[in-house]
Amino acid sequence: MTRPYHVPVLAEAVTEWLRPESGQTFVDATAGGGGHARLLAQRLAPGGTLALVDRDPEALTAAQNALAEADVRVIAIHGDFREIASLLRSRSIERVEGALFDLGVSSHQLDEPGRGFSFRADAPLDMRMDPTRGETAAQILERMEEREIAKALYEYGEERWAARIARFIVEERRSRPLTTTLQLAKLVQRAIPKAAHPKDIHAATRVFQALRILVNDELGALRQALTQTITLLASGARIAVIAYHSLEDRIVKETFLRLAGRCACPPGLPVCVCGARSVIRILTRKPVVPDSAEIAGNPRSRSARLRVAEKLQD
C-alpha cells in the first residue's frame, strides 16, 4: 500500500477553526503533500480559490496531485513563505479569507533518505527544504567557526552538550569533511558522554533539528511570514498555525500577542509610547493539542500546538 506523503495533523481542528466556505480564497503556506489542503478544498468548493505555497518543489507537486479533482481553483507557487505577500500578489491575490501554516518538516521529507533530514539511513548531509537553492548542512558545518556551531546547536536544538559537539565537529573536519547523516549522527553519539544519552530520543535528534532550522532559516522566515500574512487577511478572516517545538510556538505566541495590541514599552513608563494597537483577536487562549487517539495513530503529532487568530475590522 502506498504511504501518504504527509499525514495532516489536527486536521479536524484546523477546518473547524478556519471555517472555510464555498467561494472563498485561502492560502496554505506550507502545502506539503496537500493533506490539509485537500480538506480545505472540500469546504471551499465550488468556486473557491486555494493558493498552495511551498519551497519544496517535490512537495508542491504532491499537493497539486492531491487536489487534481478538487472543484476549486488551485494556484501552486514555488517559493519561501517569508515572501508570501509578494508571492500571492504576483498571482493577483490581494486578500485571503483564511491562512494555514503547518510548520516543521513533513513525514515524507523525514522518510526520504536522500533529503538528509534523518539519521535512520546514510545520506548526503543536505537538509534544504528547497534543494534548488542555498547551502547544505555539510557546507555550513564546513565553514562555520566552532563558537558559531555551538551557539546554533544550543539556541535551535536546546542541546546542553552543544559546545562539546561543536568541538568534535571541528576536530573531525580537520581530517575529513562531514558529508553524510550517519557520519554526523555517530559523531554526536561519541561527543555526548554515554551516561548522558537521552533515553526517549536518539542522541543526535536535537542536533539534526538545530541544523535543519539553521539551514532553512526557519525562525527568521516564520517571523516575516506571520506578519505579512496577517496584513493579507480580510476582516474577520482567520490564520491557523501548527508549531512542533517551543522555539516556533514562542514566535507564534509572541507575534499574536504583539498584533493583538500588547504594549512593548519598557516597564515603568507612565504612558504607552510604542504605538501598540490591536490588529487581530487571539481565539485560542491555550494552544489546541492532539488527543490520545491521534497521537496513537500518528506519533509525530505528539508535539503539535495549534494557535488561531482572527483579523479585526480594517
Cα three-residue angle 135-158-175, rounded to 5 degrees = 50
Residue 50: count other Cβ atoms within 10 Å of its Cβ. Answer: 30
Domain ranges of the chain: 11-102+218-311, 113-216
Q: What is the pLDDT of residues 248-290, one digit of tens each?
A: 999 999 999 999 998 777 887 777 777 778 999 999 999 999 9
Residue 124 DSSP class? B
Give the span between the Cα atoms of 221 and 224, in whole angstroms. 5
pTM for the whole structure: 0.89
Q: What is the pLDDT of residues 121-139, one digit of tens each?
A: 899 999 998 888 899 999 9
Per mean pLDDT, which range of 147-151, 197-201, 247-251 is the poorest?
Answer: 197-201
Cell numbers of 203, please?
542522541
- Per-residue confidence (pLDDT) for residue 114, from 0 to 100: 60
- Per-residue confidence (pLDDT) for residue 179, from 0 to 100: 93
- Per-residue confidence (pLDDT) for residue 136, from 0 to 100: 95
User: Candidates 1.10.150.120, 1.10.150.170, 1.10.630.10, 1.10.10.10; correct CATH number of 113-216?
Assistant: 1.10.150.170
Residues 309 and 287: beta-carbon distance below 8 Å: no
Indicate if the pLDDT at residue 3 is higher than 60.
Answer: no
Q: Percent of the chain scored above 90 by pLDDT?
A: 78
Query: 11-102+218-311 — its CATH code?
Result: 3.40.50.150
Q: pLDDT grade, residue 1 (50/70/90)? A: very low
Q: What is the pLDDT of residues 91-109, one digit of tens each?
A: 999 999 999 999 976 555 6
| Helical spans, DSSP H, in 122-204 | 137-143, 146-157, 162-175, 181-191
Closest CA to 120 of 219, 213, 202, 1: 202
